[in-house]
Homo-oligomer: A and B are copies of this chain.
Amino acid sequence: MPTLQFAEIRSAALAALKQVDVPEAFAIEQVDLLLEAELRGVPSHGLLRLERIVRRIRNGVANPNTEGKHTWRQQSFLEVDGERGLGPVVANHALNALMERASASGIALAAIKNSNHIGMLGWYVERCAAVGFSTIALSTSEALVHPWGARQAMIGTNPIAIGVPTGGKPFMMDTATSVVSMGEIHDHALRNVPIPDHWALDENGSPTTDAHAAKKGAIAPFGQAKGYALGLAFELIVASLSGTAIGRDVRGTLDEDQVCNKGDIFIVIKGPHRDLQGYLDAIRSTAPAEGFGAVLIPGERGRACREQRLTDGIPIADEVWRKLQDLASAAA
A201 within 8 A of B: yes
A175 within 8 A of B: yes
Residues of A within 8 A of B (CB): 73-77, 79, 104-109, 111, 134, 136, 146-152, 154, 160, 162, 164-166, 171, 173, 175, 179, 201, 205-206, 222-230, 232-233, 235-237, 239-241, 243, 246-248, 267, 269-274, 276, 279, 282-283, 286-290, 292, 294-298
Q: Are A162 and B233 in contact (CB under 8 A)?
A: yes
Q: Are B286 and A154 in contact (CB under 8 A)?
A: yes
Q: Are B104 and A107 in contact (CB under 8 A)?
A: no
Residue in B173, B226, B282 whose beta carbon sits within 8 Å of that of A154 in the complex: B282
| Residues from chain B with Cβ under 8 Å of A248 in the complex | 282
Q: Are B286 and A171 in contact (CB under 8 A)?
A: no
Q: Are A269 and B247 in contact (CB under 8 A)?
A: no
A200 to chain B: closest CB distance in Å?
Answer: 12
Return the 4 tightest CB-CB contacts between A and B, nearest first: A77-B106, A223-B223, A74-B106, A149-B292
Q: Are A283 and B149 in contact (CB under 8 A)?
A: no
* 28 pairs from A and B in contact (CB 8 Å cutoff): A75-B106, A76-B106, A76-B107, A76-B108, A106-B109, A109-B269, A111-B271, A147-B283, A149-B288, A149-B295, A150-B283, A150-B287, A150-B289, A154-B286, A164-B236, A171-B233, A173-B232, A175-B229, A201-B289, A223-B226, A226-B227, A235-B279, A236-B279, A240-B271, A240-B276, A241-B269, A247-B279, A267-B267
Given contacts A77-B107, A223-B224, A226-B227, 6 further A-B contacts (CB under 8 A): A77-B105, A149-B288, A149-B289, A151-B288, A233-B298, A239-B276
Q: Are A243 and B107 in contact (CB under 8 A)?
A: no
| Residues from chain B with Cβ under 8 Å of A279 in the complex | 235-236, 239, 246-247
| Residues from chain B with Cβ under 8 Å of A297 in the complex | 232
Please give me the residue from chain B that is nearest to A167 by CB atom.
B240
Q: How far is the CA of A320 from the CA of B205 in the complex (A)?
A: 44
Q: Are B274 and A243 in contact (CB under 8 A)?
A: yes
Residue in B223, B243, B276 whose beta carbon sits within 8 Å of that of A272 in the complex: B243
Q: How far is the CA of A74 from the CA of B108 in the complex (A)?
A: 12
> Known interface pairs A104-B75, A105-B74, A271-B240. Does A222 touch B233 (Cβ–Cβ under 8 Å)?
no
Residue in B104, B240, B289, B298 whose beta carbon sits within 8 Å of that of A229 in the complex: B298
Q: How far is the CA of A241 from the CA of B201 in the complex (A)?
A: 41
Q: Are A233 and B164 in contact (CB under 8 A)?
A: yes
Q: Are A233 and B75 in contact (CB under 8 A)?
A: no
Q: Are A296 and B149 in contact (CB under 8 A)?
A: yes
| Residues from chain B with Cβ under 8 Å of A247 in the complex | 279, 282-283
Q: How far is the CA of A296 from the CA of B221 in the complex (A)?
A: 14
Residue in B75, B148, B296 whose beta carbon sits within 8 Å of that of A75 in the complex: B75
> Known interface pairs A236-B166, A298-B232. Does A286 touch B150 (Cβ–Cβ under 8 Å)?
yes
| Residues from chain B with Cβ under 8 Å of A230 in the complex | 160, 162, 173, 175
> Known interface pairs A149-B295, A237-B162. Does A229 touch B173 (Cβ–Cβ under 8 Å)?
yes
Please give me the residue from chain B that is nearest to A223 by CB atom.
B223
Q: Are A205 and B289 in contact (CB under 8 A)?
A: yes
Q: Are B298 and A267 in contact (CB under 8 A)?
A: no
